[in-house]
Structure 1
Amino acid sequence: MDLTRLIGTAILGITLSMLFKKDRPEVSMFIGLITGVGIFLGALHKLSFIIDSIRSLTSKVHINYIYLSTILKVVGISYLIEFAIQICKDAGEGAIASKLEFAGKVIILTMSFPIMLSILETIINIIP
């Protein structure tokens, strides 16, 4: 059901966007933006199942949830940045999209740095 709703939203958004594209391109772009956000939020709703499953798994395996939550945040940021980049490109702002891509990479590196330090610390402790 959810898949058909997402596809229906996409088809409706495309149809409306095409109707307005010739006479009102700004409305067409706005329709595309709203449709994209709607599809993104519809897909985002499904992530709660994955997050709950990972929490359950970490409690059973006794893994520190901080590591997995950081990985989930990095994945989430990469999806959000990619979505924003595509919006910028759709609006014809390739320069802003490339700066946003760089900023996203820096944010991801910053967030993953504590995990990298933890891995290096573990390796150093293993080596005599």
Structure 2
Amino acid sequence: MDLSKLIGTALLGITLSLLFKKDKPEISMFIGLITGVGIFLASLHKLSFIIDSVVSLSNKININTLYLSTIIKVVGISYLIEFAIQICKDAGEGAIASKLEFAGKVMILTMSFPIMLSILETIINIIP
């Protein structure tokens, strides 16, 4: 989906949401949620090209695929968590959003910890 279709989808979602907001706020929120999920899923399609390109490049320069897959997963988690946080905020649930943000940070730290250990081991081995 190209940029103009994404913008059109967003404007349509906003318009429909505003039409229902006064009389049926639950439908308005549902329209916003569906619009956001649709835009998110359309954007995911574009990410596959980037991931394939990075994997191809890493194979050419012999980077350990464990590190590369971890980095891709961390970026994916950060995007998904941010999307979920925004949904919570749109629904008026700021408290849940802040807890979700904390959980996302913990997950990212946990996933990236082996890479940090590897970097520290490399530094220790370099220093006499």
TM-score norm. by structure 2 comes to: 0.97
Q: CA deviation at 1:127?
A: 1.1
Correspondence for 1:13: 13
Give the counterpart letter for 1:36 in structure 2.
G
Cα deviation 1:27-48 (Å, max 9, x = unaligned) = 0000000000001111111001
Q: Which whole-Å CA distance do the structure 2 matches of 1:22 and 1:16 have between them? A: 11
Q: Secondary structure at the match of 2:121?
A: helix
Q: CA deviation at 1:115?
A: 0.4
Correspondence for 1:68: 68
Runs ≥4 residues deviating over 3 A: none
Q: Which whole-Å CA distance do the structure 2 matches of 1:46 and 1:66 have between them? A: 23
Q: Which runs of 5+ in 1 are unaligned?
A: none
Q: CA deviation at 1:125?
A: 1.1
Superposition pairs for residues 1-128 of structure 1, below 5 Å? 2-128=2-128
Q: CA deviation at 1:5?
A: 1.1
Q: Which runs of 5+ in 2 are unaligned?
A: none
Q: CA deviation at 1:68?
A: 1.2
How many residue pairs match? The answer is: 128
Q: CA deviation at 1:69?
A: 1.2
Give the counterpart letter for 1:54 in structure 2.
V
